[in-house]
Chains A and B, each alone.
Chain A
Amino acid sequence: MLEDFENRVLPTKNKLFRFAFRLLGSSEEAKDVVQEVLIKVWNGRENLTAIQNIEAWCMRITKNLALDRLRSRQRRATNPIEAVAEIKNETLTPHERTEIHEHMQRITEMIAALPEKQRQVIHLRDVEGYSYNEICEILELDMNQVKVNLFRARNTVREKFVKINAYGL
Chain B
Amino acid sequence: MPMDSKQVEQLLEKYWNCETSLEEERTLRDYFRGKVPENLSEVASLFQYFESQQQKEIVSADFDAQVKQQIRQHRPKGKVVNLTFALRIAAGLLVVMVATYFVRLEIRKSYSAEVADTYSDPQLALEETKKALLMLSKGFSKAQKEAGKLKVFNEAEQKIQGKVLDSESETEGQI
Contacts and interface: CB of A to CB of B under 8 A. Distances in A.
Nearest to A165: B42
A100 interface: yes
B66 A42 contact: no
Contact of A17 (B56, B66, B67): B56
Given A17-B56, A103-B42, A147 B70 contact: no
A13 interface: yes
- Chain A contact residues: over half helix, strand or loop, or mixed? helix
Contacts, number: 83
Nearest to A111: B49
B interface: dominant SS: helix
B15 interface: yes
A131 B21 CA distance: 9
Interface residues of A, number: 42
A141 interface: no
A21 B71 contact: no
Interface of A: 2, 5, 10, 13-14, 17-18, 21, 27, 31, 34-36, 38-39, 42-43, 96, 100-101, 103-104, 107-108, 111, 123, 125-129, 131, 147, 150-151, 154-155, 157-158, 161, 164-165
Interface of B: 15-18, 22, 25-26, 39, 41-43, 45-46, 48-50, 52-54, 56-60, 63-64, 66-68, 70-71, 74, 76-77
